[in-house]
Structure 1
Amino acid sequence: MKKILLPVLAFMALTACNNDDNVNNQDINYSKLPQEFPFATLATVNGVDVINGGFGSGATAHPTRKGEFYVITDRGPNTAYSNGIKFLIPNFTPTIMHFKINADGNIEVLKYIKLKNPSGQPITGLPNPIGMGSTGEIAYGVDGSVLPTDNYGLDSESIVVAADGTFWVSDEYGPHIVHYSAEGVEIERISPIGVNTGTRKLPAVLAKRRPNRGMEGMCMTPDGKMLVGTMQSTMYVPTKVLATNTTLTRIVTFDLATGQTKQYLYKQDGGASDSVCDITAISNSEFLVIERDGNFGSQGGTKKVYRINLTGASDVTGSDLTAVDGLKINNKTLEQSTWDEINTAGLKPVSKTLAVDLVSKIGYEHDKFEGIVYLGGNKLAIFNDDDFGVVDNGNGTPKAKILPKTGKVDKGTMYVVDIQ
């Protein structure tokens, strides 16, 4: 009897799931976008409201239910201070928000998921100690006191949800790629060789990312086999002074079954101050990536999305994953080499074409354009990082982050745009 009953129940459950998917995969009403996320105040620091925002550092779509998304915060509200940063809420936990576009076309929050260490305790966004992914930053409290480090701390910048409901998150410390359960509990932490976390590793050279400019974007290929991450800016290889090719950054892939990694070169349009941010997959080889600067769109900022293709690009990993300076050309690192030298060596970067310029297309006014999700049909969902509604007013003192065009506090907003 049990042998007959179990398949019947399984069939009923599958049918229920398929019926739900049919409902959820009807056309979604995006006509009410752009739309801000609903916010409350987290805290008031020096008379300035810190909002329960920050969602938009990275974004991903639900693997089966159309119109549902996940967005993630970074390490928490902070301001620059001395040789590090002030954490305005030191015990803040990087958080995933699950939401949907409901039948009325409005954003409806479904769940908040706080990230946790392997023991199930909430982590913080505080820097890692030396040997565990340290950026060299010192964390300070609002009063200027030095804060402790966190072995499991994360400056989360991107998020992927797998078919089984678990999450992959990349960050700007290690850089780490961390696998979390559906409840946000750490399962595995993948870091560069030489960083003391986990057994599976990324190439050692990735640890030479610039502080606060680590693995800013990450996505999963549609076949579910590979993670694809973008380093935000030119890495300091071999050193900050010698890394002179400020338009060169790297894309890294990680095969989830074998642990094999590959690296590809990406040529930025801008210079050292520009960023390659989130990435989203169109196919197993074609992707969309963000390029942006730090200015507000209404003040001449650059906010663009490019189509790129890994097909035909050179794998520049080299034969020695432990080499801290990576592959070299004529005894020079890639970051020391000019594009002419790289081309002469027969190394090709990924191809790229402009998909959309958000400033000219929709008058995008935010400064931090950091999350994208490809919706199919040449439609793209985009998200901004609002920095919890605060910025630095000098010497670590917070002030409200105001959009210069509207005079309003910057808040996380979802848009949908057509791309080329």
Structure 2
Amino acid sequence: MTMYRLVLGALALSATVVGSPLATSYSDGVVNTTTCGSYSYSYDSMVGYGFLAGNAVDNYGDTIGFGSSITLERPSVKVTTLADGSKNVSAIVYNLPDRGWNTEGTTNFEPRIYKFEIAFQPKSGGSFKPNLQWRLVDTLILTDPYGNPLTGYDCDTKLRFPNMPHIPAATFENNGWYDFGGQNISVRVCFDAETLNVIDGSIENGFWISDEYGPYLYRFNSRGMMVEAIRPPEAFIPYRNGTESFSADSPRIDTGVDDDITPSDPDSGRSNNQGFEGGTLSPDGKYIYALLQSATVQDGGLKKYTNSYSRMVKYDISTPGESELVGEWVVKLPTFYNPDSSAKKNPRTAAQSEIYALSESQFFVIARDSGKGHGQSDGTESLYRHIDVFDITNATDIHSIDEYNVATGAVAPGGVLVDGITSATLCPFLDVNVNSQLNKFGGGLHNGGEQNWELLNEKWEGMVLIPADGKSGSDDKYYVIITSDDDFMTQQGFVNFGKNTYRDSAGYNLDNQALVFEITLPSSLKPFKDFPAGS
């Protein structure tokens, strides 16, 4: 494993706001439309771009990585229409990092969420300056039910808390930050957070986070303490040699211990680092949905050309502490042709990175390829990076069919869907990679081409909607903000509450990027009806 340079005595860096609003607005027509079932969607224009510097730090002095998920504090939304017809939009959002800097192995990063104030004036481009501003307000460290912090370390054991299933955990010596020789052993919940959803539109009601290691779903109160855990059916749980094994085969940096696991891949359940990458609450807040990033191992999950049949679960969470599985569906993810792969290894799966419930049947999903973009060695041009739509209206609900939900239960062995199961309907929609839209911002944002700061990052994993009217979406117009996960890749990184620094060996400085699109939803879909913004 590559060892990174560790430097004691870090200097403080400021998490400054980047960008300023633009002055005017104009429309340049509709980019794309699509129909999914009886519903029509319109991608009107890309209207915003902004970023937070990759070396910005949070309230605890650690490097910020804000793109794994984003959720909206709905009462905070304010939309003002100016005399020239342009709008000012402001809101409070909460952003989620995953397990910390992990390009060279896992660390004892303490999972947290960030509170940001954002502001933008929707534009169609025409200026060098970004128009989406970010200001860090606060950082909330997450804890287990006893108040102990969590860890980004790979899992090697389990913990048990009252009224919860046993939970994946990790053991380590001392504080986990390379001070060898001590005798103190800690056991913490291991956490690779991927989705964040505030309950009933406000952080005051607590929030849900989905995790890749389990894959589990966790509810936290407004202070960041874990109060509930959901373990999915056994078909989702990773097993090795007949025993559950939550390791993602992600060795730890600088521990001096060889913690690779054998075999590296599970025999069944979620694939390594392919857990609940997508998670969303229903518009009425009564249900939570979680979607695996790609297929389980037994459903072809170990190969990118057989792992398109993912699974989504639905839990009734209307009564706190009494969650109940009430739905499960197969979602066939989009595929694309990669000319760098042989014919027999095509088409490839565009794994999903986030979902957003528009109703109880239709969802947005971010689906993308991998290894392409800023800081990546495989190239700069992404071949598939979309916000698509999927519909489960006609899909087969398999949550009560035991044979599909036992430890080795398969719905698509070898990547072939079994007879009798209908997967969700997938409808391509918003192509993030359209350079004619990207080029309007930042002096020339782009997909493909030169490896520079204006090149899109590889991973786009956060998604949130804001109604353009600042309330419930009466005109069917919405802004979609997506955020990138930069993997904390910087040459001026801070860890261990600002005490130590690191430099990513790839040599790149990646910013936390965000894009804004204006869309039109079908008039019958009102995702803000139950909990309007600005109220």
User: Which bracket does the TM-score occupy, shorter chain normalised?
Assistant: 0.7 to 0.9
Q: What is the identity, as a one-letter code, of the residue corresponding to 2:462?
A: G
Alpha-carbon distance in structure 2 between the residues aligned to 1:401 and 1:51: 19
TM-superposed deviation, 1:109: 2.0
Q: What is the identity, as a one-letter code, of the residue corresponding to 2:381?
A: G
Deviations 1:192-225, CA, capped at 9 Å, x for gaps: xxxxxxxxxx211111101111100101011001
Alpha-carbon distance in structure 1 between the residues aligned to 2:311 and 2:197: 19
Q: Does 1:203 align with 2:233?
A: yes
- Structure number having the greater helix percentage: 1
Q: Does 1:159 align with 2:236?
A: no
Deviations 1:45-82, CA, capped at 9 Å, x for gaps: xxxxx9712211011111332222111011111234xx
Paired residue for 1:262, among 318, 327, 330? 327
**Structure 1 residues 175 and 338, CA gap change in structure 2 (3 angstroms):** closer
Paired residue for 2:117, among 91, 100, 119? 100
**Paired residues for 1:310-349 under 5 Å:** 310-320=392-402, 323-326=406-409, 333-336=410-413, 339=416, 342=418, 345-349=419-423
Name the structure 2 match of 1:383: 483
Name the structure 1 match of 2:227: 187
Q: Does 1:287 align with 2:375?
A: no
Alpha-carbon distance in structure 2 between the residues aligned to 1:57 and 1:389: 14
TM-superposed deviation, 1:37: 2.4
Q: What is the identity, as a one-letter code, of the residue corresponding to 1:185?
A: M
* Contact 1:129/1:150 (<8 A) preserved: no
* Contact 1:311/1:350 (<8 A) preserved: yes
* Contact 2:220/2:226 (<8 A) preserved: yes
Alpha-carbon distance in structure 2 between the residues aligned to 1:415 and 1:351: 26
Paired residue for 1:227, among 267, 288, 293? 288
Would you say how many aligned residue pairs link Structure 1 and Structure 2? Answer: 351
Listed as ranges, the gaps of 5+ residues in structure 2 are 1-22, 26-46, 78-90, 122-131, 159-165, 238-268, 336-346, 375-379, 439-445, 448-455, 468-476, 492-501, 521-535
Paired residue for 2:149, among 119, 122, 144? 122
Alpha-carbon distance in structure 1 between the residues aligned to 2:348 and 2:170: 20
**Paired residues for 1:332-411 under 5 Å:** 333-336=410-413, 339=416, 342=418, 345-360=419-434, 361-362=437-438, 363=446, 365-376=456-467, 377-390=477-490, 398-400=504-506, 402=508, 409-411=509-511
Deviations 1:205-257, CA, capped at 9 Å, x for gaps: 11110111110010101100111111001211278679983221111111113
* Contact 1:178/1:188 (<8 A) preserved: yes
Paired residue for 1:74, among 98, 114, 124? 98
* Contact 1:172/1:212 (<8 A) preserved: yes
Q: What secondary structure sits across from 1:399 in the alignment?
A: coil
Alpha-carbon distance in structure 1 between the residues aligned to 2:390 and 2:362: 6
Q: What is the identity, as a one-letter code, of the residue corresponding to 1:309?
A: D
* Contact 2:329/2:396 (<8 A) preserved: yes
Q: What secondary structure sits across from 1:65 in the alignment?
A: strand
Q: What secondary structure sits across from 2:236 in the alignment?
A: helix
Alpha-carbon distance in structure 2 between the residues aligned to 1:115 and 1:136: 16
Q: What is the identity, as a one-letter code, of the residue corresponding to 2:229?
A: R
**Structure 1 residues 266 and 135, CA gap change in structure 2 (3 angstroms):** farther
TM-superposed deviation, 1:273: 6.2
Paired residue for 2:215, among 175, 196, 201? 175
Range with bigger deviation, 259-268 or 141-150 = 141-150
Q: What is the identity, as a one-letter code, of the residue corresponding to 2:212?
A: E
Listed as ranges, the gaps of 5+ residues in structure 1 are 1-28, 44-49, 192-201, 327-332, 403-408
Aligned-pair identity in percent equals 24
Alpha-carbon distance in structure 2 between the residues aligned to 1:161 and 1:351: 28
**Structure 1 residues 183 and 324, CA gap change in structure 2 (3 angstroms):** same
Name the structure 1 match of 2:352: 276
Alpha-carbon distance in structure 2 between the residues aligned to 1:273 and 1:149: 39
Deviations 1:322-362, CA, capped at 9 Å, x for gaps: 61123xxxxxx2231654x53xx232111121221111142
